Homo-oligomer: A and B are copies of this chain.
Amino acid sequence: MAGWVKKPPDVRRNELLDSAQDLFFSKGYEATTVADIMEQAGVSKGGFYHHFTSKDDLLEALVERMAARALARLQPILEEKGLDAVACMNAVLSRSRQLKAEDAPVIRATFDIVFRPENVALYHRLNRAVNRVMMPLFVDIITRGKMEGRFRIDDPTTTAEIIVQLGASTYNAVARAIEAIGTPQADEAAAALDERLRQHGLAIDRILGLPDGTLVYSEPGFAKAVLNVPAGRKR
């Protein structure tokens, strides 16, 4: 243990997050204890609880960090020249899918934790954390779409709030697809999730006052590409 080594708080916090992420993937979330994380990061008990109140709290911070990193890779799209709000939204959705496919093992491992029935409260907590990080991006694009006269909406912040919250309505479809992994129904459940995501995109078109099918929220094969990979940890 090197818990007494003086480091800036942010560095310590990130080391704790890195250690926890490694352990969650190698041992599994349930099997990893706060003591394991402290030992791997070389941080004292006081050091851990200075940054996090619990293991769930740390997982929320980990998911928040993942979302912030994704946001950093989506944000430049808003600066690209010649994109109207619709093109911008579609570029964000497309890059999001690409990031999810690249990070499939991590996403799969995270989903394996949060989509357990007993972890539904944790799911909503993490979902809120992601939405908090992503809200400003959507407010920006929706404000632009309203100014361009393309999005027929009243208040961009309310509309963004509605759209990000809508994500949670896919819970059952995602849970079913995860449960089916490794069974003969896996492909069918993944295709059902793709179709569910398409209808999700349709709801967002409607809320924004766009013609049906304007926003591309999913593609056939997307759910399978993200879910049917080995999770980035021992099962």
Contacts and interface: CB of A to CB of B under 8 A. Distances in A.
Interface stretch (A92-100, A178-186, A197-205): A197-205
20 contacts: A120-B128, A121-B125, A154-B199, A155-B199, A158-B196, A158-B199, A159-B199, A161-B169, A162-B166, A162-B199, A162-B200, A162-B203, A165-B168, A165-B169, A165-B171, A168-B168, A203-B207, A206-B206, A206-B207, A206-B209
A202 B124 contact: no
A164 B207 CA distance: 15
A122 to B, nearest CB: 8
A172 interface: yes
Contacts of A122: 121
Interface in A98-130: 120-122, 124-125, 128
Interface in A185-201: 196, 199-200
A220 to B, nearest CB: 16
A121 B161 CA distance: 18
A172 B166 CA distance: 15
Nearest to A154: B199
Contacts of A128: 120
B161 A172 contact: yes
